[in-house]
Chain A
């Protein structure tokens, strides 16, 4: 279980990164924080109250950023941290030599702090689409202060 503190401020800058949810209510496909990492739950099994004490939920989850498999066992009445996970689409403007990408934000400005995704196939798709002059839109996944490009789409294209 995470030791993260909860900041319940309403402004954007200090928005809470996680919210608590009872372990027994977290389902497969949901999200959970394990050892400080935001993860997507791939398996939940509950062992009923017995010789081992209170009923417990066993979670197997995948880190949403580095795809590592993590697991945790939590008493089902305990609260777990569930990460806020957002996906935002941006149009790709540029790919620099050192691997950084330049994205067009809604407000018309640029977002330049993201690197190419570590996933080779995604990166290759971005590069080829960009070089062919197509309109490339990337989805950026954001959770707990970390961001990563998770999907790439070609929208319309150069002929």
Chain B
């Protein structure tokens, strides 16, 4: 009798499991006995589990974005042009990459990673918030410093220091920004009146990239590489404050958002026959704006989200790629990953294993 109870308990606790051999990857972390080899360390993340695996998958998806060519599509669309049937043309058609990020990331050192991508035309469209623009420009005028999350607010205010997480931006930096940008607005207003220029946020940002003329700025490279930077919420930041004050001094500057939504959505709609990929750091406006534009072409083909948002509150910021699939913002057949991680950790590592390593491979071998 006891034997029967025992074997019943035994078979409950030790329920025979389905074999995962060959179906799933084994979990295996990096072995430091092989020395500190960073590329191998990063590659080991795929089998390390949790967010390391998600980052590993994100690296895979981005590499797929970079490797895809129209020639990979064996089925040639019936109604496509003669040019599209040409094999060498098909070899040249690549994925169109939308990069979105929030302003805190530009305040951080991730700005320099972004600048690298723009400098080498590795992304096609950028969407960010106002802070994402001004923090890049201000860094060319004066630096941002490392502080601490725990610095008391009232104390910092008395010292004229603004805290962004554990970063500090002195008020003086914004004064320099004001002194730099107001004359540019004056020029732009003049051109609006005399040459009938109708400014849009993206045209303004291209102009600011030209005016800053500094190789450490991603806006400068976006201007040089003709990469559009969209910022539909242009008034929501220090730049918006500058527009506000400028309107008292000399009123009349008009900035048209309608032209820009045409341009942004056109980037997605007219991307075909190219595939589209989204790399979005953080949530908020950049995340939604890029997804929404891709909805216009029935969904993106690749999506990588790196953010710390959670979906339990129903926010768009915290929503997983699968929610976007329900809206038609991402295709059902798309390759998607969400990495739950602060982008200051995940993004430089991702770029190391994708954009940067591919470029290093194609560049002149180092002596």
Q: Which A residues form the contact surface with B (CB < 8 A)?
A: 1, 49-54, 56, 71-74
Contacts and interface: CB of A to CB of B under 8 A. Distances in A.
Contacts of B315: none
Interface stretch (B45-53, B172-180, B302-310, B344-352): B172-180
Contact of A53 (B160, B162, B242, B248): B242
B238 A52 contact: yes
Interface residues of B, number: 16
A50 B171 contact: yes
Majority secondary structure, B binding face: helix
A73 to B, nearest CB: 4
Contacts of A53: 174-175, 177-179, 238, 241-242, 245
A105 to B, nearest CB: 41
A127 B260 CA distance: 62
Interface of B: 160, 162, 171-172, 174-175, 177-179, 238, 241-242, 244-245, 248-249
Contacts of A52: 174, 178, 238, 241-242, 244-245
Contacts of A72: 248
Give the one of B162, B171, B172, B177 with max A CB within 10 A: B171
Contacts, number: 39
25 contacts: A49-B171, A49-B174, A49-B175, A50-B171, A50-B174, A51-B171, A51-B238, A51-B241, A52-B174, A52-B178, A52-B242, A52-B244, A53-B174, A53-B177, A53-B178, A53-B179, A53-B241, A53-B242, A53-B245, A54-B175, A54-B178, A56-B245, A71-B248, A73-B244, A73-B245
Contacts of A73: 244-245, 248
Contacts of B249: 1
Nearest to B176: A53
A50 B162 contact: yes
B245 A51 contact: no
Nearest to B241: A52
Nearest to A47: B241
A53 B174 CA distance: 5
A126 B160 CA distance: 57
A121 to B, nearest CB: 34
Contact of B174 (A1, A51, A71, A74): A51
Nearest to A53: B178
Contacts of B244: 52, 73
Nearest to A78: B249
Give the one of B162, B175, B177 with max A CB within 10 A: B175
Nearest to B248: A73
